[in-house]
Structure 1
């Protein structure tokens, strides 16, 4: 059953109970399912309607229904309201109020027996003899009260089981989060001890080479390597901050405004890169700009690794609702540059990043004329 179905049942049940109490009360008062009364039908219908109306609100408190049921039973031996009141007393009342209800109910049934005995006739036989009074009290008071208590106990057990299950789920989630945090801290330590140390050594050696370079070209290359290494350290510190659940320790991540600097660094490494902007440039959402920058960065890294001498074109197209980025390189005269190792997961991670931003990524060869990376990202 869905939550919507459960809500409909919750709303319908009180009214269905009220209708059932009304119909059974009329059957009891007219003699079909009880002792018939000689009162006018409108009077009987009014008492039955009062019983049904009280039954509709019995979930809030059984006392109004108990009061109506007591009057109806003593006056007319009308039993449905009394049965419903006893059931709801078992499900709703606490111990002290339950004892009070039981005492009053026993007194009401005894009074009903006396009134029936004084009335004489068929009513005295059915509801006025001591044996029948005890039997009716057990059937109309004791049995529904016991059923109500059983239902209440069952609900309490089920609620306790559900709460225990929720507690276990919360503890499981907490343990999983603790394990995740510990693993992230361990990875952060490993990255700091291994990767950061080696990149720092690279930057130091590049600085030493720049100072002692025999010519200007070597000094420029050493300065470029040192600058890239320092940026890599900044990126690494940011990643370590994320892994440690700390705030980033550097400036905001690069966006399209930093794209020219990235292209200049790539050109300094010997890759011919041309930038083409199409459409009216406009500010975009930070996610779109960061994703576009990372796409170009990864694509240029792959060009440098696999087709270092190939001319590359970078297209940034501002479409009405999207930003399209295309990185297209021509064929290379060189073979794959095996000296630059890679994880093999660059494009996989790039696809995940683009899809998280709500975009799509297309990659593939251009029919023997190089390789192309095409990305479309929502501009918002």
Structure 2
């Protein structure tokens, strides 16, 4: 639509100029002038595809009839389209040649034509008005468009990077939640199932045995469901956003944990450290596993995150002993080094087969991530006698 209006404007202005509005009146008949103006208008309308026809028409019309609108518009498109300095210089030189040719034609025709196009002052004004100003305007318009396009692209890139950072943070938070759920919930549910199985075997009456079997079945189902939940949390799929996911708290974090209440001491208990390790070992001893603790080196205070990670290493190793090894002897070794805390859990060869508990398969993976986040290393290996070793070294 705008190019149609441009074509109509060039046609009207060209016809107006050719009728003698610059001090000269053409001797050509009106139909010829209308045809020249119409060709100029069509070339301006075609400029949406290519502006070179408009430049050719403008050069001929100006040199022949001193009709300047087509050349002025073509010069604007040249500044808007030409990229290299060489092409711009070539166009400016060609336009200057058109101005010179118009001056030569004016001298040949004589009279008012010679004054309008041949005088140095008039030729200079025409060159500035038809070449300098529209060319500068075209260059400025192109530069402005490029700046706006670059700003828009930069804003879109920053938005994409922000989305990627948010998704990365969300994925890290999901992995952290998965590790915590596996370390805490899976371990305790496994102990519940094992205690229920022991109670079922040792129950003196049928009713107690049935209740223990029911508890064990529910616990195994809970472990299976937990495995599915951990798989979802660790999947690379995009975490649900505010519009489609669970409600979010301040800072955009998912409110996956209920707030602590004054009537629930378990929720108010601080995260476990090495001071809680004996209680963890007693839980395994209650299931018939002979757990022995060995402390080496001079015990000293270390960072809470280091103690908590060491506790999780022992917890996960004992959980795997419960699941896969049975009632076997297990050694837990805590070694305080000069710059690191070392934890080793070594169990003997598996004893009598026991019921296999469903697991999520992410225990050692999450444990390795937890240790490596602190700059440490985790090593797991099978022993020659059939046992298994879990060893972690955590900088402290």
Contact preservation (8 Å) 2:23, 2:112: no
For structure 1, the 5+ residue unaligned runs are 1-11, 248-337, 342-380
* CA distance in structure 2 between the aligned counterparts of 1:244 and 1:50, rounded to whole angstroms: 69
* CA distance in structure 2 between the aligned counterparts of 1:246 and 1:129, rounded to whole angstroms: 77
Residue 71, structure 1, aligned to residue 60, structure 2: yes
Please point out which of 215, 223, 228 is paired with 1:238: 228
SS in 1 for 2:9: helix
Structure with larger RCO (C-alpha < 8 A, sep 6+): 2
Give structure 1 regions of 4+ aligned residues with deviation exceeding 6 angstroms: none
Residue 15, structure 1, aligned to residue 4, structure 2: yes
RMSD of the alignment, in Å? 2.2
**CA 124–202 in structure 1, closer or farther in 2 if over 3 Å, else same:** same
TM-score by length of structure 2 reads 0.57
* CA distance in structure 1 between the aligned counterparts of 2:157 and 2:34, rounded to whole angstroms: 51
For structure 2, the 5+ residue unaligned runs are 238-262, 267-396
Q: Which residue of 2 aligns with 1:352?
A: none
* CA distance in structure 1 between the aligned counterparts of 2:77 and 2:67, rounded to whole angstroms: 18
* CA distance in structure 2 between the aligned counterparts of 1:37 and 1:105, rounded to whole angstroms: 23
Residue 143, structure 1, aligned to residue 133, structure 2: yes
**CA 230–185 in structure 1, closer or farther in 2 if over 3 Å, else same:** same
**CA 35–59 in structure 1, closer or farther in 2 if over 3 Å, else same:** farther
Contact preservation (8 Å) 1:89, 1:148: yes
* CA distance in structure 2 between the aligned counterparts of 1:222 and 1:146, rounded to whole angstroms: 90
**CA 152–246 in structure 1, closer or farther in 2 if over 3 Å, else same:** closer
TM-score by length of structure 1 reads 0.59
Please point out which of 17, 33, 39 is paired with 1:44: 33
Q: Which residue of 2 aligns with 1:219?
A: 209
Residue 109, structure 1, aligned to residue 99, structure 2: yes
Q: Which residue of 1 aligns with 2:177?
A: 187
| CA positional deviation for 1:246 | 5.3
- The one-character-per-residue Cα deviations of 1:85-131 (angstroms, maximum 9, x if unpaired) are 00010010122221211111111111011112222233222222121
Q: Which residue of 1 aligns with 2:45?
A: 56
* CA distance in structure 1 between the aligned counterparts of 2:23 and 2:154, rounded to whole angstroms: 47
The correspondence of residues 199-348 of structure 1 with structure 2, limited to 5 A, is 199-245=189-235
| CA positional deviation for 1:39 | 1.4
Contact preservation (8 Å) 2:193, 2:220: yes
